[in-house]
Amino acid sequence: MIDVVEIQKILPHRYPFLLIDRVVELEPGKHIKGYKNVTIAEQVFQGHFPGHPIYPGVMIIEGMAQAGGILAFKSLGEEEQISVENKVVYFMSIDGAKFRSPVRPGDRLEYRLEVLKRKGNIWALSAKAYVDEKLVAEAELKAMIVDK
């Protein structure tokens, strides 16, 4: 397991834009499973939508991308992982995004990503998000690890 303190050593994101709380499963070069606890305290609910809070789809996609960044970094060789503070993951594309069900405060949003392809520093990932084992969103993501 990777907790939020370790996640912050890997990703440059910070509150309110760090969108993954814990990684519960990771097989380098293969897949990752992590989650975010969605709470009514999220700043985004002040405007999305008052009286009917729905977690935005773009935030779900970003959370999946952050999980993918952790997977990519943890899949690097030991020597490359040492210099992780000098690297960053950039989004290249989002394809086939679908939102199947709304995510609300109180939900535990689980991200599950699998590596489709890796070519050098470019990663293609199948990303899915679940709440209580129900698929709520999916997309194919491409990202690249680059020097800062």
Left, alpha or beta for 132 (phi > 0: left; psi -120 to 50: alpha)? left
Q: What is the DSSP string of 2-34?
A: B-HHHHHHH----TTS----EEEEEETTTEEEE
What spatial distance separates the first Cα and last Cα of the chain, rounded to whole Å? 27
Give yes or no: 52 in active site.
Answer: no
CA distances from 129 to 46, 79, 96, 109, 111 (A): 23, 31, 14, 7, 5
Q: Which are the catalytic amino acids?
A: 48
